[in-house]
Amino acid sequence: NGNDPYLAVLCNAADKDFGAEGTDKDGQIFVHLINVEADNIYRNQPDYPAKDTPVRPATLNLYVLFAFRSKSYLQSLKLLAEVIRYYQGKPLLKDGNTTITDTTIDPDLKFDFMVNYHNISLEDSNNMWSNLGGKQQPFAIYQLRMLKISPKNSIPETTIKEAILSQVKPITSANPSVI
């Protein structure tokens, strides 16, 4: 809403009035989750069939929309440039290099994911903004790759990596076409 004191706000962009002017001269960044997908690399790996073996973490990719609203279009473009600059300089977010200020999130949360700019076509952009019920605003979409969500009885990550690597056959000079 227009009364939120934060520059960036996690929200449902469909509920925002992008036709209204921004809250102040600095504007505001609306952060909206637009898609969740299972990571293809981990989706095709064999399950752990043993009865008492813990379940491995779900590995997900999240697509996040950053939409910008300000009193001036130029300021919205400046906010867009700042978001792009930030993630260009910090493409790997993890618990050791990122501070979570939200007090509702466990301060001991362990996370590690890559942030990649995600291109969409003009047609997809038009469809997205139509679905959100607003006029197109300056925006950027980022893919948060390799987000792992683990149940309490999950197996260690090193065990998962070992299982995956055991499925990969090395390329030899005698048979370079086999992957």
pTM (2 d.p.): 0.69
Between CA 5 and CA 103 the distance in angstroms is 16
The radius of gyration of the chain from alpha carbons, rounded to an integer in Å, stands at 20
Write b or e for each residue in 26-51: b if 16 or more Cβ atoms lie within 10 A of its Cβ, otherwise e: ebbbbebeeeeeeeeebeeeeeeeee
Q: Per the structure block, which two tokens stand in for 64? A: 């996040």
Give the closest residue to 71 by CA, choosing from 29, 27, 31. 27
pLDDT tens track of the chain, all 179 residues? 445 556 888 888 778 766 565 555 578 888 999 999 887 665 555 555 455 556 667 788 899 999 988 888 899 999 999 999 999 998 888 777 777 676 666 777 777 788 999 999 999 999 999 988 878 889 999 998 876 766 655 555 555 455 545 444 444 444 444 43
Residues 6+ apart with CB under 8 A from 17: 134
Between CA 104 and CA 71 the distance in angstroms is 31
